[in-house]
Amino acid sequence: MGDLIKIAEFAIKVTTANTGAATFTAVQPLDQALDVSGYEELDLQLNVVGFSGQNCNVYLITSMQKDVEDETWDEANAPATQFAPISGTGVKNAVLASSGNKPLLRYIRWKAVSTAQVSTTLTFTLTGIARRRSA
């Protein structure tokens, strides 16, 4: 049995401007990081409801704290937490496990990265089922 989790319950819209920069990154605000310390596995679904542009990925990052934006935030289970590259609307799935090569820490949040040098807009929700740690 699992618990429903909502990392991005309502549609999140991320837009990159055509600045000529090689990479644009948008990250879920620290105060919205989700505490997953009671879980050992997350089955997640990224639902892309709007997309225009190219070269966009969504990652899940994890840390023991949610007070400071620093280098302690790292990709969980990398590279397994990279949802399939986004090229249009649709559903992408990912599984995070506490036993991975980069295990889940206390908090998780999303990070969207675009490597396109063109304007890109991504609108998505991110929900799933969290499986509790065995007693």
pLDDT digits (tens), the chain, 135 positions = 789 999 987 899 988 776 666 677 889 999 999 999 889 889 999 999 999 988 788 989 999 999 988 888 888 766 656 788 888 899 998 888 776 666 688 999 999 888 777 788 999 999 999 998 776
CATH code for position 22? 2.60.120
Contacts made by residues 72-79, CB under 8 angstroms, sequence distance 24+: 73/27, 73/109, 74/102, 75/102, 75/111, 76/100, 76/102, 76/103, 76/104, 76/105, 76/108, 77/101, 77/102, 77/103, 77/104, 78/102
Domain interval for residue 46 = 2-132
Say if residues 21 and 114 touch (Cβ distance below 8 Å): no
Say if residues 127 and 9 touch (Cβ distance below 8 Å): yes
- Total number of domains constituting the chain: 1
Q: What are residue 121's phi and psi, to 5 degrees?
A: -125, 130
Separation of alpha carbons 44 and 95, rounded Å? 6
Q: What is the pTM of this model?
A: 0.86
